[in-house]
Every structure is written in structure tokens, then in C-alpha cells.
Amino acid sequence: MRLHVVIAVHEAAKWHDACLASLRAQTHADWRAAVVVDPGRDGTLDIARRHAADDPRVDVLPAPHRRWQLVNRREGWRHLDPPDDGVIVLLDGDDRWAHDGALATLAEAFADPATWLTYGRHATFSRRGSRAEQSFARGLRRWGRPGRTSSYPPEALQRRAIRGLGWRAGHPLAFRRFLADAVREEDLRDRDGRPLRAATDAALAYPMLEMAGPEHTRHLDDVLYVYNKADARRVAWTAPARQRRALVRIEQRPAYEAWTPPGDGTGTR
């Protein structure tokens, strides 16, 4: 079971070495990775290139200009070019795997062809009390919708009624390519037609969860991923109001219908 790991990163030199080291230490060895690096001045690109020089499974793609996470993720999986039923795994360039068996757990889940998407639980790494983190936490309290990493109820997934339940699709997010390709382009853009820069996990995950439904979605209860809350450059910390507004707009969009193969007469959405 080959896994296609997509890593988008910008100026994360403090954490990027640990990110790639945790990937290369995985006991499940059948993977390829695309590391898409936005331009920066802190040496992140050099770190990625050093790992690529030591491991042919890692490809480094320097972005020509600042493109942000969503565009770079999509460029990454297009570069890896998995088959329609191939598995794409998202790993942020300042995060890391929690242990060396994380990819093995994902590979085991996707060995079942009925599994189209997985999400799960993560640990967090944090500098407690940072101003950015405090600002985001205050915003969530005012907004009244703290994120959760518990699973969505099967009945809510069946009814495609998950967008009003709050964000639960925690890292790591992994999915088959045909789901990602079925997300409508307009749902990945803001009101001005530009690629989204905030709440991009939700913009991808909500449609795919709705298309997969409870029959093809698995919540993995094991902690596989370490989410870095110490990186003050994350949009969630630097622009919490923008993050909340983007998530509200995404949650107000119509739900997708169940995915069906093209050509069967029912359409894909």
C-alpha cells in the first residue's frame, strides 16, 4: 500500500527537520512525499533538500512565489500523481508524526477498499501562553465553537449534516484521490475568486466527508500526529478573525451528495 504524503511548508526551519525525520523513520516504508516550499529566508528549503538528498522518496518542489497552503498541497499531490484510488496523506511542514507506526496504521486502514477517508486524534506541541495562541483561544470562546477531534456521529454523516456540528476532522487527514478531485473549484476559493488562505482543512474535508458518508469514513482513535501550536505564523494564530469568518462561510455552504463513479448516470455530487 503506497501512501502519497503531501507536505506544504513556509518558514518553519525550527521544526521542519523533525517533521521530515519523523516521516523517514516510519516502519511502513512504501511512501513517496512531495515537499512544497513557499519562498522564505529561514533555511526551510535547505532542510528539505538535505533530506531529499538522503532519501529518494522525498521530492522537493520550491514554489515560484508565495502560494499558501491550499495551492501547494494540490501541487504536491498532482506532482505525486497517485491513481484515482491512491491515498493522499496531509502532513504540515511544522508538524510531525507521533511515532514510527503512524503510516502503518494508515496503510492498514486503507488496505480495505471501502475506506475512502480517515481522520483522527492528535497530540499538540505548544508554547503555553503565547499571545497568538491566547488570541485564537479568546476568539473561539467568543465564537462559541471550539474545535474537537471526536468523531462525527454516523447518522449525521449519513444525512450530510455535519457542518453545523463544529470542526472535528482532526489530523491526520488522509483520503483517496477521487474524493479530492471531486471537490468543486469554487468551494476552494474566497468571495473574490482567490484560493483560500484560511480554514483550508475544512474546505477540503467537509466535502470529502459528505461524499464518503459513514460507510467509507473511518475515525482513527490512536494518536498518530503531533500538531504544532507553537508556530505563531499559522493563519489560525495570526489572523483568528479571518480563520473564523472563512470557517463560517464554509459551514454555510450546501452539503455535497454521496460520491458515485463517473459514468454511472447519477453524477459525482
The one-letter amino acid at 15: W
CA distance linking residue 109 with residue 103, whole number of Å = 10
Q: 195: helix, coil or strand?
A: strand
Which ranges of 31-147 would DSSP assign to H, the alpha helix?
Answer: 44-54, 68-80, 102-110, 131-143
Look at residue 127 in the predicted model and tell me its pLDDT.
57
* pLDDT tens per residue, range 97-123: 999 999 999 999 999 999 999 999 888
Q: Which fold has domain 3-251?
A: Spore Coat Polysaccharide Biosynthesis Protein SpsA; Chain A (3.90.550)
> Across the chain, what does the average pLDDT equal?
87
- Choice between 269 and 205, residue whose per-residue pLDDT is larger: 205
Q: How many CA atoms lie within 13 A of 140 on its CB side?
A: 14
Cell of 55: 532519501
Tens of pLDDT, residues 62-83: 998 988 899 999 999 999 999 9
pLDDT score, position 123: 85
- Residue 177 · residue 86 · CB < 8 Å: yes
Q: Is the pLDDT of residue 239 over 80?
A: no
pLDDT digits (tens, 9 = 90+) for 161-185: 999 898 888 889 999 999 999 999 9
